[in-house]
């Protein structure tokens, strides 16, 4: 509808106004030819722009902003190489169901299909890694495309949406027609609600169970269902295992919190899942890193799957009952139906399993004066009282973080779980910083992954933002080295890694760099980083050939874990 007094504007101006109307306050991007009209109009918009150093960083920043805030993150880039540089970030957001909107410039509509300068069919390229995408070739389509894109990104199971806008559509003028009517898209029905009869069946299964385990996933965090989950756990007395992305959705310090499950989950958690007679899966999708071999996964357990996306039901693990709908609404419906229970025998059994598995625990690492990654993460957790927002990269350090930093709060661990994208952490943390100006933020990255997006140190320096960056530097592409040690006869093919001097690299950006080689110096460096304004990089030189334990080899049964040799072999 054209509002009274509405004036004629360019497509570029309409774009920024449409974003503003969606509540966008900040975008992350990089200019270029096909998006220049939009960048020109940006100067007259109240929306803040953060200039990244590589478009992958823009997508990860939008993603980190979205994960930390629960809002939609926005990235913007030019056509061709600018657009293709976004691809890894879009795929990362897709696999972790993160709502972002990416805007790309496209060559003018009359040259589309001619291999024009910087032409890439980015809607074709991103078709399988976006929830939806748009090619906009006319100025009068821009406002509606933005409105729909935000609706699609945040409704139902969230995800990335791309809007590709031709240069001529940005330059043409129109009187914009705004709409406040609810978006209605043919064939897209994102809302589901579990049936009352199924809720009652689920409650009966829960009441009848002797050895239930709740599997809490990312959906708990996204649906802001932590409090309800707490009530549900108190009522049912069922212990909670978390997926990597579910960490913090249920407080690690709770007596019924078991910890992380899966490939590098705690041994007692995996064992408890294998011994369970009922699994209640809440907002998780039975990823292969979580189940191990699905044929041997919790074979004695009945399974209830509470999940928003019907496509996830029976995808890898067959379940006895599916409750399709928002997990918060499902929990709210279940709560009055389930009986109060204690299940002491089951909790005692898990406690016994815990004792047996504690050999890996930090307390049991002998002190040789050597610095282990686990020391760094345990000390960081202690010093920050578990209250920092952690953005971890991908590799061994990511798993040690999940094991040793105990998360009590939702949205305080951001990590690339589904795609496992090295280079995610630094840019995602920059995005999270803009979403959470007050929170203490730590990046935990390996020496390999850090170098994939280290250029974004420049962005952090230009923006003058406070970040603490811990590089867990083991001189290897550690996780791959570990697999080579375990499964390829220790043949280290392309995993030894030489890095720049990270202290000097920080200094070259006008930032502070510190180096730690001994455990006794960890606390002082952490304190110095916290007290120093701006971004600080700490190069933690850790044990080079340590491995993450326990480990369920890919495709093995969940109870078939490789345990840490004890005592640690010299």
Footprint of ligand TPP on this chain (CB under 6 A)?
393-397, 420-423, 446-449, 472, 474, 476-480
- Cβ contact 441:414 at 8 Å: no
What is the sign of the dihedral through the CA atoms of 484, 489, 494 and 499?
positive
Distances (CA, A) of 401 to 221, 272, 390, 438, 562: 18, 22, 9, 22, 19
Cα separation of 122 and 133, whole Å?
9
Q: What is the DSSP letter of 3?
A: P
49-71 as b/e, with b when 16 or more CB fall inside 10 Å? Answer: bbebbbbbbbbbbbbbbbbbebb
CA dihedral 523, 524, 526, 530 (to 10 degrees): 130
Nearer residue to ligand TPP within complex by CB, 81 or 310: 81
Q: Which residue has the tokens 């960081």?
A: 380
Distance, CA of 256 to chain centre: 24
Nearer residue to ligand TPP within complex by CB, 178 or 483: 483
Least distance from ligand TPP to the Cβ atom of residue 419, Å: 8
Nearer residue to ligand TPP within complex by CB, 55 or 447: 447
Least distance from ligand TPP to the Cβ atom of residue 439, Å: 24
Nearer residue to ligand TPP within complex by CB, 367 or 498: 498
As a whole number of angstroms, the longest Cα–Cα distance in the chain is: 78
- Cβ contact 439:398 at 8 Å: no
Nearer residue to ligand TPP within complex by CB, 340 or 493: 493
- Cβ contact 266:258 at 8 Å: yes
Least distance from ligand TPP to the Cβ atom of residue 264, Å: 11
Q: What is the DSSP letter of 296?
A: G
Nearer residue to ligand TPP within complex by CB, 403 or 474: 474
Enumerate residues 6+ apart whose C-beta is below 8 A from 559. 270, 271, 274
Beta bridge partners of 536: 468, 512
Count Cβ atoms within 10 A of the Cβ of residue 352 and give its class: 0-12 exposed, 13-18 middle, 19 or more buried: exposed
Q: What is the DSSP letter of 496?
A: B
Nearer residue to ligand TPP within complex by CB, 240 or 548: 548
Nearer residue to ligand TPP within complex by CB, 475 or 513: 475
Distance, CA of 59 to chain centre: 13
What DSSP line would sit under 172-202, residue for residue?
SEE------SPP--TT--------HHHHHHH
Distances (CA, A) of 216 to 233, 240, 291, 542: 11, 7, 13, 32
Least distance from ligand TPP to the Cβ atom of residue 465, Å: 23
Least distance from ligand TPP to the Cβ atom of residue 447, Å: 5
Least distance from ligand TPP to the Cβ atom of residue 410, Å: 25
Count Cβ atoms within 10 A of the Cβ of residue 43 and give its class: 0-12 exposed, 13-18 middle, 19 or more buried: exposed
Least distance from ligand TPP to the Cβ atom of residue 476, Å: 6
Nearer residue to ligand TPP within complex by CB, 85 or 123: 85
Q: What angle do CA 404, 409, 414 make, to 5 degrees?
A: 70
Least distance from ligand TPP to the Cβ atom of residue 481, Å: 7
Least distance from ligand TPP to the Cβ atom of residue 54, Å: 13
Q: Among all residues, which ones are annotated catalytic?
A: 55, 117-118, 167, 479
- Using Cβ positions, the residue closest to ligand TPP within the complex turns out to be 446
Structure tokens at 527: 């304190």
């Amino acid at each position: 509808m054209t509002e009274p007094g509405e004036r004629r504007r360019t497509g570029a101006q309409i774009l920024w106004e449409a974003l503003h109307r969606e509540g966008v306050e900040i975008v992350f991007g990089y200019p270029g030819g096909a998006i220049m009209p939009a960048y020109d109009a940006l100067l007259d918009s109240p929306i803040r722009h953060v200039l990244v150093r590589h478009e992958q960083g823009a997508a990860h920043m939008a993603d980190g902003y979205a994960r930390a805030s629960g809002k939609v993150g926005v990235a913007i880039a030019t056509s061709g190489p600018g657009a293709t540089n976004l691809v890894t970030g879009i795929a990362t957001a897709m696999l972790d169901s993160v709502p972002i909107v990416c805007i790309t410039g496209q060559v003018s509509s009359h040259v589309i299909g001619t291999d024009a300068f910087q032409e890439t069919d980015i809607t074709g390229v991103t078709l399988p890694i976006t929830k939806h995408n748009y090619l906009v070739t006319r100025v009068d389509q821009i406002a509606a495309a933005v409105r729909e894109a935000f609706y699609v990104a945040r409704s139902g199971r969230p995800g990335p949406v791309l809007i590709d806008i031709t240069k001529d559509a940005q330059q043409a003028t129109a009187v914009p027609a705004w709409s406040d009517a609810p978006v209605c898209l043919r064939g897209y029905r994102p809302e589901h609600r579990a049936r009352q009869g199924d809720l009652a069946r689920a409650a009966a299964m829960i009441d009848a169970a002797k050895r239930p385990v709740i599997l809490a996933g990312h959906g708990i965090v996204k649906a802001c269902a932590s409090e309800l989950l707490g009530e549900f756990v108190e009522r049912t007395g069922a212990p909670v295992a978390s997926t990597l992305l579910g960490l913090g959705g249920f407080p690690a310090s709770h007596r019924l919190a078991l910890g992380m499950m899966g490939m590098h989950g705690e041994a007692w958690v995996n064992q408890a899942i294998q011994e369970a007679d009922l699994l209640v899966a809440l907002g998780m999708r039975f990823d292969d890193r979580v189940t191990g071999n699905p044929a041997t996964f919790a074979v004695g357990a009945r399974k209830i799957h509470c999940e928003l996306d019907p496509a996830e039901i029976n995808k890898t693990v067959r379940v006895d009952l599916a409750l399709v709908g928002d997990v918060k609404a499902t929990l709210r419906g279940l709560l009055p139906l389930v009986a109060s229970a204690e299940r002491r025998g089951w909790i005692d059994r898990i406690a016994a399993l815990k004792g047996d598995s504690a050999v890996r625990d930090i307390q049991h690492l002998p002190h040789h004066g050597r610095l282990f990654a686990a020391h760094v993460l345990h000390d960081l957790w202690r010093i920050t009282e578990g209250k920092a927002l952690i953005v971890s990269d991908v590799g061994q350090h990511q798993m040690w973080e999940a094991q040793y930093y105990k998360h009590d709060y939702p949205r305080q661990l951001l990590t690339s779980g589904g795609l496992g994208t090295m280079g995610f952490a630094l840019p995602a943390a920059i995005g999270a910083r803009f979403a959470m100006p007050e929170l203490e933020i730590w990046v935990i990255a390996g020496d390999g992954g850090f170098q994939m997006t280290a250029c974004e140190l420049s962005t952090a320096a230009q923006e003058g933002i406070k970040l603490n960056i811990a590089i867990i530097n083991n001189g290897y592409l550690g996780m791959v080295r570990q697999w080579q040690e375990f499964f390829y006869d220790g043949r280290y093919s392309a995993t030894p890694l030489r890095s720049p001097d990270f202290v000097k690299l920080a200094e070259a950006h006008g930032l502070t760099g510190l180096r730690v080689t001994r455990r006794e110096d960890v606390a002082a460096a952490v304190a110095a980083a916290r007290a120093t304004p701006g971004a600080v990089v700490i190069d933690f030189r850790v044990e080079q050939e340590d491995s993450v334990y326990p480990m369920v080899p890919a495709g093995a049964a969940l109870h078939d874990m490789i345990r840490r040799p004890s005592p640690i072999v010299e």
